[in-house]
Amino acid sequence: MPVKSPIFLLLLLACALLSRPAVAASCWITQGASTVFGTLVAGNTSSTQTSVKFSCYADYGETRYFNVCLSSLESAPFKMTSNGDNEGKQYTMLFRLFSALDNSQELTSLGAGRALQTALTIGGNLTSGGSFPLLATIPSGQNDLPVRSYFNYTLGLKLTWNSATQKEALTSCQDGASQGLATDLSSNASATLSDSCFIQSVTPLDFGIVGSTALTGQLTSTATLRARCPVGTRYTLGISDGAHASGSQRQMCNDRQQCLQYALWQDASATVPWGDRSASNTMEVTHPDGNVQSIIVYGTVPPQTLSGTGAFSDDVVITLTY
């Protein structure tokens, strides 16, 4: 009996050696991308920074060299979806993710492009971490989205890797060939569309050069006002009487305070005056699609005697109310 006991122990030891794991390296995502675009205006582009963090482990007491790659489970562009409206309809906002180190490299599925890749060196029996810095972008032109909050709670990412004990033996994982992979569904994205309106630009109203001491005919000119509001917004545009007004009469004046009368109109035939008194002479506008709207301001200078020479000008305030 004493002879059999050591043989039994040796057999157990041999079994333990045979069952030791053969995996020399592994990697996993430790923190998904949390992308918060904040509040933005429909149709405008918006960008923000985010990142994906990961760790890798080198086994067997050997220093190992890693190429670690990141791709997505679905092809770009990615989607954020709103909650349903009163009729249960949901709306979708698109966004993209790029390498923050090289904006020409887009994060997408391996079937649609190459993975993002980074290198890592880890000593034996050690764990070390790295990250993929990302630039998140909402493309412009998504004008028809209503004012809502938009979310993606489960953006799927894939981590793949290759490793080797000799640096020259290390191969790329960008095209999908890898020794291992891990997936993660913790990445998320959010954005909120503002209900605000804004005036994008206004061109000057230029009546040109007058080469006479009297205006015997009426001068006309136009300016273009460009405004944007969320889809379906109703708003009004008012224009003040100006910095040189005499009562309600608009005037352009030179540096000697010699002035010319002029008027602003909502229509080309100069029948609807444009002022800033609500429900009286402001323009009522409905924004049907969220695109920038171009609105024409018509100006006239009536026949009158010129009281001086030089550059005549005036400043008016345009007010958008919604």
pLDDT of res. 84: 80
Q: Check whether 321 has a pLDDT greater than 50.
A: yes
pLDDT of res. 23: 52
Domain's final residue, options 131, 158, 191: 191
What proportion of the chain, given as a percentage, has pLDDT over 90? Answer: 73
Tens-digit pLDDT profile for residues 46-89: 999 999 999 999 988 889 999 999 999 999 999 999 988 778 89
Domain's final residue, options 132, 156, 191: 191
Rounded to an integer, the average pLDDT of 218-229 is: 94
The number of folded domains in the chain is 2
Tens-digit pLDDT profile for residues 139-155: 998 988 888 999 999 99
Within-domain flag for 57: yes
pLDDT of res. 20: 34
Sign of CA dihedral 206, 212, 215, 217: negative
Q: Are residues 223 and 273 in the same domain?
A: yes
Within-domain flag for 46: yes
- Cα separation, 145 vs 107, whole angstroms: 24
pLDDT greater at residue 94 or residue 85? 94
The count of other CB atoms within 10 Å of the CB of residue 13 is 10
- What CATH number has the domain bearing residue 279? 2.60.40.1090
Q: Are residues 228 and 122 in the same domain?
A: no
Q: Are residues 200 and 187 in the same domain?
A: no
| Residue 311: band (very low, low, confident or very high) from pLDDT cuts 50, 70, 90 | very high
pLDDT of res. 225: 97
Within-domain flag for 47: yes
Tens-digit pLDDT profile for residues 163-178: 999 999 999 999 999 9
Within-domain flag for 14: no
Q: Are residues 230 and 148 in the same domain?
A: no
Q: Check whether 22 has a pLDDT greater than 70.
A: no
Domain's final residue, options 143, 164, 191: 191
- Cα separation, 228 vs 290, whole angstroms: 7
Q: Are residues 179 and 293 in the same domain?
A: no
Within-domain flag for 3: no
Within-domain flag for 7: no
Q: Are residues 177 and 215 in the same domain?
A: no
Tens-digit pLDDT profile for residues 228-287: 888 878 899 999 999 999 999 999 999 999 999 999 999 999 999 999 988 789 999 987
Q: Check whether 133 has a pLDDT greater than 70.
A: yes
What proportion of the chain, given as a percentage, has pLDDT over 70? Answer: 93
Q: Are residues 241 and 210 in the same domain?
A: yes
Q: Are residues 160 and 212 in the same domain?
A: no
pLDDT of res. 7: 32
pLDDT greater at residue 5 or residue 107? 107
Domain of residue 201 covers: 196-319
Within-domain flag for 231: yes
Q: The tokens 């041999």 sit on which residue?
A: 14
Cis omega (within 30 of 0) for bond into 302: no
Q: Tell me which residue of 114, 26, 129 sits closest to 72, measured CA to CA.
A: 114
Average pLDDT of every residue of the chain:
89
Q: Are residues 82 and 181 in the same domain?
A: yes
Q: Are residues 68 and 145 in the same domain?
A: yes
pLDDT of res. 57: 97
Within-domain flag for 17: no
Q: The tokens 């709306």 sit on which residue?
A: 91
| Three-class SS of the chain | CCCHHHHHHHHHHHHHHHCCCCCCEEEEEEECCEEEEEEECCCCCEEEEEEEEEEEEECCCCCEEEEEEEEECCCCCEEEEECCCCCCCCCEEEEEEEECCCCCCECCCCCCCCCEEEEEEECCCEEEEEEEEEEEEECCCCCCCCCCEEEEEEEEEEEEEEEECCHHHCCCCCCCCCCEEEEEEEEEEEEEECCCCEEEEECCCCCCCCCCCEECCCEEEEEEEEEECCCCCEEEEEECCCCCCECCEEEEECCCCCEEEEEEECCCCCCCECCCCCCCCCEEEECCCCCCEEEEEEEEECCEECCCCCCCECCCCEEEEC
Q: Are residues 29 and 140 in the same domain?
A: yes
Could you tell me the pTM of the whole model? Answer: 0.69
Q: Are residues 315 and 246 in the same domain?
A: yes
- What CATH number has the domain bearing residue 130? 2.60.40.10
Distance of CA 132 to the CA centre of its chain: 20
CB 231 within 8 A of CB 42: yes
Mean pLDDT is lowest, of 190-199, 202-211, 212-221, for 212-221
Q: Tell me which residue of 210, 212, 220, 224 sits closest to 270, measured CA to CA.
A: 220
